[in-house]
Amino acid sequence: MRTNIVLDDRLVQEALKHTPVKTKKDLIDLALREFIDNKSRLNLTDLKGRILFRKGYDYKKMRQSVAVPAGVRR
């Protein structure tokens, strides 16, 4: 689909610094894909009442058993 839009030049330049893309077209395409991915994810609060945890499940204990990479603080 072809369309013409006016973009904030400062926003475009800033966004280009944070992405591997080089063109405005590719930047807009990437932004739209990421927007759709983000909006398509389930919100954890939407799962309330749908997940049953086993008796004795301890998420804090599980966190402690996960290896933390060197240089990363918890």
Tens digit of each residue's pLDDT (9 = 90 or more) over 6-46: 999 999 999 999 999 999 999 999 999 999 999 888 777 78
Between 2 and 42, name the one with better pLDDT: 2
| Any domain includes 64 | no
pLDDT at 65: 67
3 state SS of 40: helix
- For residue 48, the 8-state DSSP code is T
| Any domain includes 33 | yes
Report d(CA 27, CA 42) in Å as an integer. 25
Full residue range of the structural domain in which residue 20 is found: 1-41
| Any domain includes 16 | yes
**Domains: count for the chain:** 1
Model confidence band, residue 47 (pLDDT cutoffs 50, 70, 90): confident
